[in-house]
Amino acid sequence: MESVAGVNGNQVFLYPASDLAIIVSEHNPVEALNQKAGVDHARVIADCFQHSTVLPFRFGTVFNDDETLRKSIRSNQRQFQGNIDKLRGKTEMHLKIFVDDCCTHTLDKHTHAEGVGREYLSNLRENAARTRERQTRARAVSFQMHRLFMPLDEEVSCRLTESGKMVLDIAHLIDRKYVERYQNKFASTSAMMRECQMQVSGPWPPYHFVHRLTRGAHAQPAATAPARVLNPVGAPLAGIAEAIPAMA
What total of structural domains would you count in the chain?
Answer: 2
Give 223-247 pLDDT, tens digit per residue. 333 444 544 443 332 222 233 344 4
Q: Residue 89: left if φ>0, alpha if ψ -120 to 50, beta else—which one?
A: left
Please give the pLDDT value at position 222. Answer: 37
12 plus 70 within the same structural domain: yes
Cα–Cα distance for residue pair 130/105, rounded to 1 Å: 10
CA distance 203 to 8: 25
- Amino acid letter, 201: S
Confidence at 174, pLDDT banded by 50, 70, 90: very high
**CB-based contact 201:60 (threshold 8 Å):** no
Instruction: State the angle between helix axes of 179-192 and 118-149 in degrees (0 to 180), rounded to the nearest 10.
Output: 130
2 found inside a domain: no
Whether the CB-CB separation of 55 and 232 falls below 8 Å is answered with yes
Q: According to the model, what pLDDT value does residue 95 have?
A: 95
Same domain, 155 and 228: no
Which amino acid is located at 170 in the chain? Answer: I
pLDDT bracket for residue 76 (50, 70, 90): confident
Same domain, 96 and 187: yes
Q: Which amino acid is at 151?
A: P
Q: Cα–Cα distance between 52 and 184 in angstroms, integer?
A: 24
Sheet holding 61-63, edge to edge: 12-17, 20-27, 227-230, 61-63
| 110 in the same domain as 26 | no
The 10s digit of each residue's pLDDT in 15-54 is 777 777 788 888 777 777 888 888 888 888 888 888 778 7
Structure confidence by residue, pLDDT tens digits, 179-223: 999 999 999 999 888 888 999 999 998 888 875 433 444 444 333
Classify residue 85: in a domain, yes or no: no
Confidence tier at 2 by pLDDT (50, 70, 90): low
